[in-house]
Amino acid sequence: MLEASNTKYVFVSWILLEEELIMVKMVFMFNSSTSLFRGGLLNLNHCTAASLQLEHDILRLDLDMIFVTEPYVAEGHVAGVTSLSNVYEEGSPRAPIILKRHFNFVPILISKDIVEINVNVYNVNIICICVYCPPKEPLLPVLEALSKIIQMHPNEVNQEKSMS
């Protein structure tokens, strides 16, 4: 089991979409060749082709983890990802986290719009949170959920603040 006391970082990422005309948009990519842990954030905007290409691109770019928003969903599951770990709520997920299978992780919160996991990366625990904020739905419920998550991890957030 992962120990919360070893947690070093809190990552919180979310997207507020203003335009839905973009088929696939790379919002954020952290992918340095010198990094021990490589990942990114990608909005697929429910695009079938992009979702089916996703696993190939993750492997080709040697990414360890990617936060995805608005994936293409077939029969309640994120389409196109078979050889990687996929963390999301079955049905109509909007914020899955996809990571390589060799990483140990513990799901903390899994809902349609928020996925929070504790990932062990080279003996360091990382709290990873992927959040989708639907553009036409109230923002307050998502912010309240994020507030609860932060309250669950006060030491990690305070440690991160003191490091900056």
Rounded to an integer, the average pLDDT of 98-114 is 93
**Which band of pLDDT confidence, cut at 50, 70 and 90, is reported for residue 156?**
low
Angle at 102 between CA 100 and CA 106, to 5 degrees: 85
Q: What is the CATH number of the domain that holds 124?
A: 3.60.10.10
Give me the sheet containing 65-69, strands edge to edge. 25-30, 39-43, 65-69, 97-99, 85-87
Question: What's the domain range around 73?
Answer: 23-158
Is 18 a member of any domain?
Answer: no
Is residue 3 included in any domain, yes or no? no
CB 157 within 8 A of CB 150: yes
Domain count, the chain: 1
Per-residue pLDDT reduced to its tens digit, 39-76: 888 888 888 888 888 888 888 888 889 999 999 999 99
pTM (two decimals): 0.73
